[in-house]
Amino acid sequence: MTPTPWSAYDHPLRSRLLLGTAGYPSPEVLGQAIAASGTQVVTVGLKRSLGAGAADNGFIAGVRAAVRDHGARLLPNTAGCRSAREAITLAQLARELYDTRWIKLEVIGDELTLQPDPWETLTAAEALVRDGFEVFPYCTEDLVSCRRLLDVGCRVLMPWGAPIGSGQGLINPWALRTLRARLPDVPLIVDAGIGAPSHAVQALELGFDAVLLNSAVAKAGDPVRMAAAMAQAVAAGRLGWEAGLIATQDLASASTPVDGRPFVLP
């Protein structure tokens, strides 16, 4: 049994795992991890793509080959940008380089936590939407900030679970649960902070549509096995959500009937 399909900007998707491409031991391992994960969306950092030596070391060619061979869709990102102007310029370059209107928008406001800057992100998102981009903004779990991004035309949101690369999992599940409840019809993807399959399960059990992760797979002892584990975790979490989780409570509730009948008959 598999979870129900979903969509991002009207593009149908089966997999609820989005995978990054940075930090893998080799392009070959990256390709194997993509295959093991079953992902249909792969992100790539534009600054790394355009950086010195990227073409020489085979990074761009490796990403292109991995995406092509496994039928995944490319989601360029503006990781490393510190201003709306910089992110807009990089997004425009991405559209030319990769021939896609999809862009994962990242504008960082703090060097230590890599927390997104809500004001610069909003400014960039509004400009990019006007320019015809389909924007996936990296944001916090703040409900009001998320609503402002929707107001300017974003149709998918990517709130963080924890600081990028920290592996802490979901540090504010209450806020994420609230976000899901208040925005029931918006595709929500937990981005950043996922470090273990159990974190991915939790995100999907909260009702989120997908998770995006990179370090948890790329830096694992065996990236290919970890990619497969994450795929199973995401599927399990979503199936649990779709099945309907029982409500938590403080006191015990007997699971065995006490009236002598194994089933309650109508």
Residue 87 assigned as binding residue: no
pLDDT value of position 253: 79
260 annotated to a ligand binding site:
no
Each residue's pLDDT tens digit, 212-241: 999 999 999 999 999 999 999 999 999 999
6-243 adopts what CATH topology? TIM Barrel (3.20.20)
Please give, one letter per residue, the 3-state secondary structure of 128-160.
HHHCCCEEEEEECCCHHHHHHHHHCCCCCEEEC
Backbone angles phi, psi at 116, to 5 degrees: -65, 145
Are the C-beta atoms of residues 198 and 233 closer than 8 Å to each other?
yes
Phi, psi of 70 (to 5 degrees): -115, 10
What the block records as the tokens of 111 is: 């060097």
192 is in an annotated binding site: yes
Alpha helices, H only, 45-117 = 46-50, 59-70, 84-98
124 is in an annotated binding site: no
Report CA torsion sign: 180, 182, 188, 189: negative
Give me the catalytic one of 95, 104, 148, 180.
Answer: 104
The DSSP bridge partners found for residue 17 are 211
User: For residues 43 and 203, what is the distance between their CA atoms, to the nearest angstrom?
Assistant: 19
DSSP tag of 31:
H
Residue 45: φ, ψ to 5°: -80, 125
- Known catalytic residue: 104? yes
Residue 15 annotated as binding site: no
Q: What digits encode the pLDDT tens for the residues 75-87?
A: 999 999 999 999 9
Mean pLDDT for each 10-residue chunk of the chain (266 residues)?
90 95 89 93 80 56 72 90 95 91 95 92 98 97 97 97 92 96 97 95 97 95 97 96 90 73 60
Please give the pLDDT value at position 71: 80
